[in-house]
Amino acid sequence: MNATGGTGFAASEGRGPVAVPAAGVAGVPAVGLARRGGGTILGAIGDTPLVQVEGIWVKLEYLNPSGSIKARIAKYMIERAEREGLLRPGDTIVEASSGNTGNAMSMVAAVKGYRMLVVMPDGMSAERLAISRAFGAQVMTVGEFHVNDALAKVAELGREPGYFAPQQFDSEWNVEENRTWLGPETLAQLPGGVVPDAVVGGVGTGGTIVGVGQCFRGRNPSCRVVAVEPNESCTLMCGEVGRHLIEGISDGFVPGIFARHRQIVDEIVAVDSDAAIGEMRRLAREHGLFVGPSSGAHLFAARDLRARCPGLRHVVTFFCDEGEKYINDYFLGA
């Protein structure tokens, strides 16, 4: 079968935070402090802070439960599958992931009582594998670094009775979540009168940059949509596939979501892995933001965009996962 922590503040470039509402606007789940008084950890997904870092608007998605932006699609897609009758008690959820979606779906499965099988390639951070197992998931490693072989295994298992494959790389539910939840939530947190001139994001599944791009275009039809990929693996721009250090983006193929919606993307930019890692380390040292390599790549690309296009005053990007997932690779010897 297939198919915002905090109080919603936006910190200004000036002296302090500017209080703006995050939840309660059309299309945004009302995930506020009152709701978090009960229920489960799933109620804490979303309503993450929006801050400014070096003149760039940054949504701190790494503060979601499970430690990444992928908590949103995990909750959204699994609950949508339940409503559609595609996922039933006793079923096993199976998904191909380089790590973060596997972590997030394992968390949701644990809360809801489903079995979870994460199929991921070798060569990912040990922490991301361990987190899925901590949530009670079974982890199967297939292939090396890129997720192509894992996708084939999931497609095979997803046809078996008792399995549900969300298919994050291809499902329009992924785009829908970003268009109707993350995008409107971000717009609601921008100060009054501020309209996004551009949105910058790496392409793992393509769901975030496509869905948020669609949402932002509804507010500003000229909003520039910029996709990011590693310079060592320029798959979207020229079909090259290579090893790189920006885990979570450029998984070795062009995702179905991106292929179908490529026309919404105005520009694809490549960022060197070393530059992304350097920015990641600097964000922790200078801004107290302990994030992963893709966040470094996003800030690098967003800042470069503003330098090249000074007329783009309000550029939005995302810090997608937490630095704790990369302790062994980048921080123990730092």
Contacts of 259 (CB under 8 A, 6+ apart): none
Q: Taking Cα atoms as reference points, which of 248, 249, 250 lies closest to residue 239? A: 250
| Residue 232, token pair as written in the block | 């060592």
Q: Of the listed 66, 132, 294, 295, which one is catalytic?
A: 294
Catalytic annotation present for 112: no
Closest CA to 71 of 91, 97, 92: 97
Q: Which of 59, 70, 75, 325 is catalytic?
A: 70
Which sequence positions are flagged as catalytic? 70, 294
